[in-house]
Amino acid sequence: MATVLLIIGILLFIGLVVIHEYGHFIAARRGGVDVEEFGIGFPPRAWKKRIKSKKGDYDFSLNWLPLGGFVRLKGESDSATESGSFGAAPLGTKVKIMVAGVIMNLLAAFVLFTLVAWAGMPRLPEFAVPDQFTVAADERVVSEPRNQDMVLIGRVIENSPAEKAGIAVEDELVAINDTEITNPFDVIDITEANAGEEVVVTIRSAETDKEQEFAVILNDDATAEEQGYLGVAPFSGQEGFKVVRYTWSAPIVAAGTIGQFTQLTFIGLGNALSGFGQYIVSFVTGDELAREEGQLQATEQVTGPVGIFATLAAVSQEGFSLMLFIVALISLALAIMNILPIPALDGGRLFVTLLFRAIRKPLSKSLEEKIHGTGFLLLMALFVLITIVDIRRFF
């Protein structure tokens, strides 16, 4: 069953790309702009078929690089003047074409979140999504998570206080100084507040299933930069999620969820940009530790196709609702990323077009190609970096 759900999840993810590009396709044809090719994936081309249509013939292609898709229009540069070209279209038509993919992904996210709310909306842990949007008057709990407050140790750092005390991987962290540990962030907060001091760590041994207490002297702030204060990587031992269903309020929950996760996405992007800035500055200062921290902060906020596949594989074990929830989040993320003013993406093209209109200067084909070509190369470099990080993270 999990394999079937994984296949469905991958097909739905591919469907998000198709829906996005179909938005551009429809907007272009309605605006009188000729479509030359509708492609899924990026070249090299694997297969092509010529489609006959009353509104104009076009090529439909499948391509080998599964990084997205594209719609190739006649005269794509802003300076093109031929009849039926993108460049010759009115500004309003160009704007509609460039934002159509984003609108389609937003609509897809809304429909998917509505279906999830009807079928069973996962309530994510409070430390991950504080105050997840809900309509309490219409909420009905259909299942509860297991081991909700359990925190396990995923890694013990070499020569750390935890290793010296005898704490092991898979042990459960029960308490620190008699303060109960209910989520991984508790470990960070309590150990940071007691930096350099001796604390009593209570664990339940994975080997004996019995509670043990350890007197541990935590690292101070300086040593913690490399090892952390206790020297462990905690993770939630929760199995499954609390799942709730909605009836009349499902569309409201969908809209509220989109708003909440849009805000969280921008917070994550801010953290990623901050980490990327730190990473760049570290090359000037030569600070290796800052470089590692910046790379970690920049990349842990994002993921690529490898990470998406790993995530879909993991959530397929939890059932259809959670997988559909993740696909809806991916659709929302695609909409947000594509509307940002990043060269080579829809938002970047829109920003450059409107900028040159505002300053009343012509946007030549060569300059436009340089701007978006450079943006595309940077995106591909980022894609390679994220893929490497994802492989290390998930495999």
In a domain, 187, yes or no: yes
102 and 182 both lie in a single domain: no
Cα separation of 335 and 325, whole Å? 16
Mean pLDDT on 55-82: 88
In a domain, 44, yes or no: no
105 and 156 both lie in a single domain: no
Q: What is the pLDDT of residues 211-247, one digit of tens each?
A: 999 999 998 887 877 788 898 888 888 777 789 999 9
Q: Which domain covers residue 82, as residue numbers?
A: 1-34+74-135+252-395
> What is the predicted pLDDT for the residue at 19?
94
Q: What rounded mean pLDDT belongs to the chain?
A: 84
268 and 381 both lie in a single domain: yes
In a domain, 109, yes or no: yes
216 and 288 both lie in a single domain: no
In a domain, 50, yes or no: no
131 and 155 both lie in a single domain: no
Q: Is the peptide bond before 234 cis (omega within 30 degrees of 0)?
A: no
Q: Among 212, 236, 260, which residue terminates a domain?
A: 236
pLDDT band at 107 (very low <50, low <70, confident <90, very high): very high
Q: What is the pLDDT of residues 343-376, one digit of tens each?
A: 888 999 999 999 998 998 888 888 888 888 888 7
Distances (CA, A) of 57 to 37, 50, 128, 252, 294: 9, 7, 48, 41, 49
For tokens 């970096």, the residue is 385
> What is the predicted pLDDT for the residue at 382?
67
End-to-end CA distance of the chain: 22
> What is the predicted pLDDT for the residue at 66?
74
Q: What is the pLDDT of residues 153-178, one digit of tens each?
A: 988 888 899 999 899 999 999 999 98
> What is the predicted pLDDT for the residue at 388?
65
284 and 311 both lie in a single domain: yes
> What is the predicted pLDDT for the residue at 375?
81
126 and 163 both lie in a single domain: no
199 and 283 both lie in a single domain: no
Distances (CA, A) of 221 to 89, 186, 195, 268, 287: 60, 17, 6, 25, 18
Mean pLDDT on 88-101: 95
Q: What is the pLDDT of residues 117-146, one digit of tens each?
A: 999 998 887 767 888 999 999 999 988 887
176 and 320 both lie in a single domain: no
Say if residue 254's pLDDT is above 90: yes
114 and 260 both lie in a single domain: yes
Q: Give the side-chain half-sphere CA count within 13 A for 155.
A: 6
Number of domains in the chain: 2
Mean pLDDT on 333-343: 89
For the chain, percent of residues with pLDDT exceeding 90: 41
296 and 385 both lie in a single domain: yes
Cα separation of 366 and 359, whole Å? 18
In a domain, 53, yes or no: no
> What is the predicted pLDDT for the residue at 118?
96
* CATH number, position 229: 2.30.42.10
In a domain, 362, yes or no: yes
The answer to whether 171 and 214 are in contact (CB under 8 A) is no
In a domain, 264, yes or no: yes
Q: Among 236, 271, 288, which residue terminates a domain?
A: 236
Backbone angles phi, psi at 102, to 5 degrees: -60, -45
> What is the predicted pLDDT for the residue at 116?
95
Name which residue leads in pLDDT, 299 or 38: 38
> What is the predicted pLDDT for the residue at 109?
96
DSSP 205: -
Cα separation of 276 and 293, whole Å? 10
> What is the predicted pLDDT for the residue at 272?
66
Q: Among 236, 263, 295, which residue terminates a domain?
A: 236
Name which residue leads in pLDDT, 246 or 388: 246
> What is the predicted pLDDT for the residue at 386?
66
The answer to whether 243 and 250 are in contact (CB under 8 A) is no
In a domain, 45, yes or no: no
The answer to whether 16 and 327 are in contact (CB under 8 A) is yes
Q: What is the pTM of this model?
A: 0.77
284 and 327 both lie in a single domain: yes
pLDDT band at 283 (very low <50, low <70, confident <90, very high): low
Mean pLDDT on 49-62: 91
> What is the predicted pLDDT for the residue at 126?
76
